[in-house]
């Protein structure tokens, strides 16, 4: 006797009654995809733009690269921690940090860290350095006094820290760890990842982007 599955119901070819219902795996998978898509669309734009990089940026590469200006970027499959933030704010908030940081450094070069021996702004690299982004965000009035209270960290916030003695930057996710601590999206050495490590490092700055305009003196 030949059995067929028709419309999710097992039936025999010889005309016997319907047998056990078989789950429609394709329908369940499609429904799951729709739920995941709806949840992702509910995330703030900055978080969505950061999360998209998880599958795209898989290489940590700190090489100096000559970029077009404005809107310049290193190859999408590579980058450093700052590139996660640059791309997320550009795509999620319409904020081109390359252009904004360069313009602000032209206005107030002496207000930025004198760490690299530069005598004038360099639009290829300035916005890709954590200390410069800290200075820029402070000058824009984006600083938040979040402390170590996890409730103060909102999705899309930008957080800076020290990993050992090296500056690092990351974006707060809308996903949380089991204890309620927000996860973060960052590239710390092996591509962009979403991890529960927000309070694992010494925090040095907490910023909340309010707009894309220039607010500095």
pLDDT in tens, 119-133: 999 999 999 999 999
Q: What is the pLDDT of residue 42?
A: 72
Q: What is the pLDDT of residue 148?
A: 85
Q: What is d(CA 34, CA 96) in angstroms, rounded to the nearest whole number? A: 32
Backbone angles phi, psi at 168, to 5 degrees: -140, 155
N- to C-terminal Cα distance for the chain? 84
Cβ proximity of 206 and 143 under 8 Å: yes
Shortest CA distance to 81 belongs to which of 163, 148, 138, 147? 163
User: Domains in the chain, ordered, with CATH?
Assistant: 1-42 (no CATH), 45-207 (3.90.1720.10)
Region of poorest pLDDT, from 31-35, 138-142, 156-160, 209-213:
31-35
- Helix axes 130-139 and 81-93, enclosed angle (nearest 10): 40
Per-residue pLDDT tens over the stretch 75-121? 999 999 999 999 999 999 999 999 999 999 999 999 999 999 999 99
Return the H-helix or E-strand segment holding 10: strand 9-12
């Amino acid at each position: 006797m030949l059995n067929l599955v028709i419309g999710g119901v097992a039936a025999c070819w010889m005309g016997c009654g319907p047998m056990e219902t078989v789950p429609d795996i394709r329908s369940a998978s499609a429904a799951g995809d729709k739920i995941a898509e709806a949840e992702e669309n509910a995330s703030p734009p900055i978080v969505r733009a950061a999360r998209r990089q998880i599958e795209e940026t898989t290489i940590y590469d700190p090489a100096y690269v000559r970029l077009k200006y404005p809107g310049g970027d290193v190859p999408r499959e590579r980058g450093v921690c700052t590139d996660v933030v640059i791309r997320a704010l550009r795509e999620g908030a319409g904020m081109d940090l390359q252009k904004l940081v360069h313009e602000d450094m032209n206005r107030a070069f002496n207000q930025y860290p004198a760490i690299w021996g530069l005598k004038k702004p360099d639009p290829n690299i300035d916005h890709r350095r954590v200390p410069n982004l800290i200075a820029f965000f402070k000058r824009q009035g984006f600083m938040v006094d979040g402390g170590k209270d996890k409730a103060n960290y909102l999705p899309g916030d930008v957080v800076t820290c020290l990993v050992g003695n090296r500056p690092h930057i990351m974006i707060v996710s809308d996903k949380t760890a089991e204890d309620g601590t927000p996860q973060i999206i960052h590239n710390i050495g092996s591509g962009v990842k979403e991890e529960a490590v927000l309070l694992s490092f010494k925090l040095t700055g907490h910023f909340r982007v309010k707009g894309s305009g220039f607010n500095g003196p």
